[in-house]
Structure 1
């Protein structure tokens, strides 16, 4: 089992960061433009039972990815688990912690790559680097979007 974690202190209240993640267009916003991913559907918001479905492209090969939300504790945590997809297993914890009016956003993923320990040893570093690149992008978008919400509330406009 491999573990990936990425954390950022977002300069916005926890409620603002949580509400950003509740947006109906969140998957579009958080998908890096360079990734070969097609969003098929998102249903149920962040609550338990919610689903997100994607089509990933590995070259010319489409791969279905279906994730179900298995835990939700607003505005602190939601967890999704891959039901169908490219990994042997995948559990993604989205954690939100209040730190003096800011929010510590942490994405933690525990996953297994098909093929066992040898494959994990051979390509685990590559998967980790792709995840780091993706979550750097996601956290930057989250900060930018939450900055806009805070500025609008503070100054009454754009």
Structure 2
């Protein structure tokens, strides 16, 4: 089974505190997820983020098929990073590291996702045709939504 990686960067013209307050709030994931994904939080997002937090969602990633996704926040270092890992859901493995750091005029966000697709050879075949393009689309939506919310970063 192949291990894949998605690596994204984005700069925003906001303070580290503003970035952390928004990104570390599990309820804001709905804000930066495309509506067609049918994203709905079932439980676990009623408290500030902490290690061991279990969050349950419903997502509809393809063909209207509702899927339960359960993640655990495994690591948190305030104003620097947090890690979420899938415990149950559409991937054989999902390990998502979120980093933020101050830069002149704002913050730089970095997402590093390691993931595996289930279903053996069928999963391997669907990765370049469906899975990777869908992930790219979702992260592009997120990037555009964050610019809409916070403005575009201008080089210092």
Do both share a fold (TM > 0.5)?
Answer: yes
**Counterpart residue number, 1:76:** 80
Output the aligned Cα RMSD.
1.9
**Counterpart residue number, 2:154:** none
Report the Cα offset of residue 26 of structure 1: 0.5
Contact between 1:43 and 1:50, CA under 8 Å: does it hold in 2?
A: no
Q: What 5-or-longer segments of structure 1 have no aligned partner? A: 148-158
Report the Cα offset of residue 23 of structure 1: 4.0
Report the Cα offset of residue 88 of structure 1: 0.6
**Counterpart residue number, 1:121:** 124
**Counterpart residue number, 1:142:** 146
Q: 1:107 aligns with which of 108, 111, 136?
A: 111
Q: Deviations over 1:86-129 (max 9, x none)?
A: 1111001111022213211111110110023x334311122111
Report the Cα offset of residue 146 of structure 1: 2.9
Partner SS for 1:25: helix
Whole-Å Cα distance in 2 between the matches of residues 83 and 65 of structure 1? 8
The 1:60–1:143 alpha-carbon spacing in structure 2 relative to 1, beyond 3 Å, is closer
Count of equivalent residues:
146
- Which one is further off, 79-88 or 133-142? 133-142
1:78-97 equivalent positions in 2, closer than 5 A: 78-97=82-101
Contact between 2:25 and 2:49, CA under 8 Å: does it hold in 1?
A: no
The 1:61–1:25 alpha-carbon spacing in structure 2 relative to 1, beyond 3 Å, is closer
Q: What is the TM-score normalised by the length of structure 2?
A: 0.82
**Counterpart residue number, 2:57:** 54
Q: What is the TM-score normalised by the length of structure 1?
A: 0.81
